Amino acid sequence: MTTAGSFNPFAMAQAQFDGVAELLGLDEATRQLLREPLREYSFAIPVRMDDGTHRVFRGFRVQHNDARGASKGGIRFHPQESLDTVRALAMWMSWKTAVVDIPLGGGKGGVICDPHHLSLREQEQICRGWVRQVARNVGPLLDVPAPDVMTSAQHMLWMLDEFETIHGGKYPGFITGKPVGLGGSLGRTEATGYGVVYTLRDALERLGIEARGTTASVQGFGNVARHAIELFARLGGTTVCVACWDQADQTSYSYRRASGIDLDELRGITDRFGGIDRNKARDLGYEVLDGGAWIEQQVDVLIPAALENQINADNVTSIAPSVKVIAEGANGPTTPEADAEIRRRGIFLLPDFLANAGGVTCSYFEQVQSNMNYYWERDEVLRRLDRKMTAAFEGVVELAESRKLYMRDAAYVIAIDRVAQACHDRGWV
């Protein structure tokens, strides 16, 4: 059994890989190459704090595989960040870029810190210090970072400025998720959440379910969750419950309204990290429930869009019989033990590195635009994103049906086969 205390995301990522390596019959050298990162960096970031004291933060960058192109992946600021988490996320990024067939590899970064308790100046120093530690090992042709949990366009701009200062030139393609007008792409903000719903729309259509009238429960109320809720509503769906972290209590709560949540209303009582003011929510007529209640709701769709290890052996049996689709907006939200139960029950799963690949796909679009120094209109970006997500979904579901595979396994087979083939073609193994 995987418990919160013993959960190791990298061990989970390796276990998922090992199972698919068997399906593909990969040779031993290829398995050894792909189940570990090509490179990883762990380093100290000394920062002078606003009160004059000094603190040292621990930073990471992992480049899992770059056989298909420059490494690509976000940078997370989180107090529970760990090297194993970054390793897992970098591996998942290799599969994510491969499953949507964009010419990039997998990387990830992080810093152990809590931005809630840091001033903007202190956060800027962490960003610049992170870049200084890896400036020779990242870049538009090597490794392209992006925002992730608790990092933003402003953080990316500080990092870009530091990289350009070190290298003495303009390199807008070094980093994605930048502000629009300073090398950022229109459509990037909504891309991950919209990508989740593009694949959800296609899954419902495949299942013969009309999107209009369906209901959803969402874990998370950050950027991915909000844009997923927004587009789901435009398809005619109703989100009846959201769960998010409460910084003041250091715990999570679920907010339910049977008639459906009001996205703008909740946005108006939310802090910059996606935490809802529960007293104001109660005053607006929301039921305030335990943080785990989101998974128990009698809905058609579950969208975990927060952190890893959120659907596990301890709570998977709480999923209501009404649930037909799980669309993973987060990275690694479902453990292998939970996967076994989801498969047994026949719930249609949209695996994370397919469902949430809209973010990296649009990051790729931003990188292309930055390197060309020519930028597309928002509608063009989203049209290209929709086409990419639909093509990736169709490839995975057709393989799943033809070979009678679980959707996660089918996505892995496509992604790992593409990366393995690139390694073989290059003569690495």
Q: Domains along the chain? A: 37-184 (3.40.50.10860), 189-355 (3.40.50.720)
Q: Tell me if 337 sits within 8 A of 9, measured CB to CB.
A: no
Cα–Cα nearest to 185, from 364, 5, 413: 364
- The residues, ordered by sequence, that sit 6+ positions from 178 with a Cβ below 8 Å of its Cβ are 153, 156, 157, 160, 172, 184, 366, 370
Count CB-CB contacts under 10 A for residue 203.
Answer: 23
Return all residues near 367 (Cβ < 8 A) that are at least 6 apart. Answer: 140, 144, 173, 176
* pTM of the shown model: 0.90
Q: How confident is the model at residue 12 (pLDDT cuts 50, 70, 90)?
A: confident
Angle in degrees, CA 129, 132, 133, rounded to 5: 90
Provide CB contacts within 8 A for 274, sequence distance 6+.
220, 221, 222, 223, 225, 226, 244, 245
Residue 159 CA to residue 307 CA, distance in Å, equals 24
235 CB neighbour count, 10 Å cutoff: 15
Per the rule left: phi > 0, alpha: psi between -120 and 50, beta: everything else, 274 is left
Distance, CA of 360 to CA of 102 (rounded, Å): 9
Contacting residues for 401 by C-beta, under 8 A, at least 6 apart: none
Please tell me the predicted confidence (pLDDT) of residue 307: 82
Does the pLDDT of residue 282 top 80, yes or no?
Answer: yes
- Which uninterrupted H or E stretch holds 104? none
Task: Tell me how far apart the alpha carbons of residues 146 and 97 are, in angstroms, rounded to a whole number.
Answer: 14
pLDDT at residue 277, as a whole number: 87
Amino acid letter at 144?
Answer: V
Please enumerate in sequence order all residues whose Cβ is within 8 A of that of 212, keeping only pairs 6 or more positions apart, or say none: 235, 236, 237
**pLDDT of residue 17 exceeding 80:** yes
Q: Which of 72, 96, 108, 388 is catalytic?
A: 108
User: What pLDDT, on a 0 to 100 scale, did the predictor assign at position 407?
Assistant: 96
Question: Is 108 an active-site residue?
Answer: yes
Cβ contacts of 139 within 8 Å, gap of 6 or more: 163, 167, 171, 174
Residue 119: count of CB within 10 angstroms of its CB: 12
Using one digit for the tens of pLDDT, what is the confidence trace for 63-122? 999 999 999 999 999 999 999 999 999 999 999 999 999 999 999 999 999 999 999 999
Quote helix, strand, coil % in the chain, to nearest 5. Answer: 45, 20, 35
| Residue type at 156 in one-letter notation | M
311 Cβ contact partners less than 8 Å away, ≥ 6 residues apart? 295, 302, 304, 319, 326, 333, 334, 335, 338, 342
Could you tell me the sign of the dihedral formed by the alpha carbons of 126, 128, 132, 138, in that order? Answer: positive
Q: What is the pLDDT of residue 251?
A: 87
pLDDT at 7 (0 to 100): 79
| pLDDT-derived band at 31, boundaries 50, 70, 90 | very high
Strand partners, 45: 57
Q: How far apart are CA 63 and CA 116, in angstroms?
A: 28
Per-residue pLDDT of 128-150, as tens digits, reads 999 999 999 999 999 999 998 89
The DSSP output letter for 180 is: B
Q: Whole-number mean pLDDT of the chain? A: 94
Short-list 306, 386, 360, 388, CA closest to 185: 360
Q: What is the mean pLDDT of residues 298-303?
A: 98
Residues 6+ apart with CB under 8 A from 171: 139, 140, 160, 163, 164
- Cα separation, 200 vs 256, in Å, equals 22
Mean pLDDT, range 3-23, rounded to an integer? 84
pLDDT band for position 273 (cuts 50, 70, 90): low
What token pair was written down for 327? Answer: 């669309």
- Candidates 125, 195, 110; CA nearest to 381 is 195
DSSP structure class, residue 184: B
Catalogue the E-assigned strands of 96-188. Answer: 105-112, 143-147
- Residue 245: band (very low, low, confident or very high) from pLDDT cuts 50, 70, 90: confident
What is the per-residue pLDDT for 2?
Answer: 37
pLDDT digits (tens, 9 = 90+) for 148-196: 889 999 999 999 999 999 999 999 999 999 999 999 999 999 999 999 9
pLDDT at 1: 33
* Helix 358-372 with 378-403: angle, nearest 10 deg: 140
Task: Report the half-sphere exposure of 157 (CA within 13 A, side-chain side).
Answer: 11
Report the share of the chain in percent with pLDDT over 90: 90
CB 302 within 8 A of CB 323: yes
Euclidean distance between CA atoms 24 and 338, whole angstroms: 23
Cβ burial, residue 324 (10 Å; 0-12/13-18/19+) = middle
Eight-class DSSP state of 67: T
